[in-house]
Amino acid sequence: MSDVFITHALRTPIGTAGKAFRDVAAADLGAAVLKQLVPAGQVEDVVLGNCMGPGGNVARVAALTAGIADHVPALTVDRQCASGLAAIQLAAAGFSQGTVLAGGVESASTAPWRFWPPVGDAGAVRYDRAPFAPVGRDPEMGAAADLLAELQGITRGRQDEYAARSHERAAAAQVAGAFEGEIVPVNGQTVDERIRRGLTVQRLAKLPAVFRADGTVTAGNSCGINDGAAVVALSKTGPGLGVLATASAGVDPTLPGLGIVPAVQKVLKATGLGIEQIDVWEFNEAFAGQVLACCDVLGLPDERVCTQGGALALGHPWGASGAVLAVRLFSQLVTQQSGRYGVAAIAAGGGQGTAILVEACR
């Protein structure tokens, strides 16, 4: 039996950077979802993940913008791409009374420029991201995914097949209305921007490798750069999704994509459940090769993962993506009644992973 339940779960559409939400700040994306969840109960706290915002406390800005009372505190969490799911993990672990709103926000479109300060006579140096690990153990994510695919024997063809399937599944789910109940419109945008209907393996096969000259990772079998927010309401009482276990884990930072594996192993061990007992699997699809490598190591058939499409098609708004996975679990297990147990997991730069295992309680 669970002590904490996800009773409501919503997200914005996922926008492509520079397009639908090009002028919408991360806090405003979060506020759009928080406003819709406030009636879910007496809010006691707000916990949001964020990677690339302006600093400070994005969660507090989002909460106040949403009209949440001044006396309700807010916390911003940064575990890079796992931030949104880590926020839910922290909220569930420290739960007391009332309702806690937890999730993640990200706006790649409005992320501020960052600079190292001048040294001597040299000018300030702009950088695209913060260090995830010490020098020498901090590869770019695409190059690390390419290396992981090579080490695990994941072929280019298999990656392209997986990517095409993600778009096919997402397009079918979108047409069937599978996302409608979970999406809060923002700026008139009501659907995810990135999904490509009719994307084929043949079209993907024409794209060149982008991270290594002899590599297998391309723009087509990688996620996009995206904007979005996702938040869940956590309560001591159901119905909804009972949170049975959450976990975070670390791996070799030069192979960060494997972070999903130990996190999933931890939540399965904590509950005594096996892979075959999980009805819905949601892994963040940062790279097709990375997801396939994790599935192979876990012994999980890859066709069971993201059956309504994943981040390759929907997009990967970094700090929000883990929370998007939780929203997707809620839609499938509660709204669509597609099974009993679900697992969501995401890897993060620096060699980390976070996972959650839930049970539908109707």
Q: Give the model confidence (pLDDT) of 2-37 as tens digits.
A: 899 999 999 999 999 999 999 999 999 999 999 999
How high is the pLDDT of residue 215?
Answer: 97
235-267 pLDDT, tens digit per residue, is 999 899 999 999 999 999 999 999 999 999 999
DSSP notation for 82-121? THHHHHHHHHHHT--SSEEEEEEEEETTTPPPEEEPP-TT
How high is the pLDDT of residue 40?
Answer: 66
CA distances from residue 1 to 33, 244, 359 in whole angstroms, order as listed: 29, 7, 9
Give yes or no for a contact between 224 and 156, defined as CB atoms under 8 angstroms apart: no
The rounded mean pLDDT for the chain is: 96
d(CA 214, CA 263): 31
Half-sphere exposure of 279 (CA within 13 A, CB side): 15
How high is the pLDDT of residue 42?
Answer: 84
How high is the pLDDT of residue 267?
Answer: 98
Rounded to 5 degrees, what angle do the CA atoms 244, 292, 308 make?
Answer: 65
| Residue entry with tokens 């969490």 | 77
Q: Terminal CA-to-CA distance of the chain, rounded, Å?
A: 13
pLDDT at 299 over 80: yes
Q: Between the CA atoms of 90, 294, 207 and 155, what dihedral angle is there, to the nearest 10 degrees?
A: 170
CA distances from residue 147 to 210, 263, 285 in whole angstroms, order as listed: 13, 21, 16
149-180 pLDDT, tens digit per residue, is 999 999 999 999 999 999 999 999 999 999 99
pLDDT at 305 over 80: yes
How high is the pLDDT of residue 38?
Answer: 86
pLDDT band with cut points at 50, 70 and 90 for residue 112: very high
**Rounded average pLDDT over 75-100:** 94
**Rounded average pLDDT over 275-291:** 98
d(CA 280, CA 295): 14
Q: Report how far Cα 326 is from the mean position of its chain's Cα atoms.
A: 8
pLDDT at 95 over 80: no
**Rounded average pLDDT over 309-326:** 98
**Rounded average pLDDT over 95-103:** 88
**Rounded average pLDDT over 61-84:** 97
Give yes or no for a contact between 58 and 77, defined as CB atoms under 8 angstroms apart: no
How high is the pLDDT of residue 94?
Answer: 83
**Rounded average pLDDT over 215-231:** 98
Please, is 88 exposed, middle or buried when counting C-beta atoms within 10 Å of its C-beta (0-12, 13-18, 19+)?
A: buried
Domains along the chain with CATH numbers: 1-111+132-362 (3.40.47.10)
How high is the pLDDT of residue 1?
Answer: 61
pLDDT band with cut points at 50, 70 and 90 for residue 96: confident
334-357 pLDDT, tens digit per residue, is 999 999 999 999 999 999 999 999
Whether the pTM exceeds 0.95: the reply is yes
Which three-class secondary structure state does DSSP give residue 244? strand
CA distances from residue 135 to 140, 219, 222, 253, 259 in whole angstroms, order as listed: 12, 26, 25, 11, 19
Whole-angstrom Cα Rg for the chain: 19
Which amino acid appears at position 234 of this protein? Answer: L
189: its two tokens: 């945008």
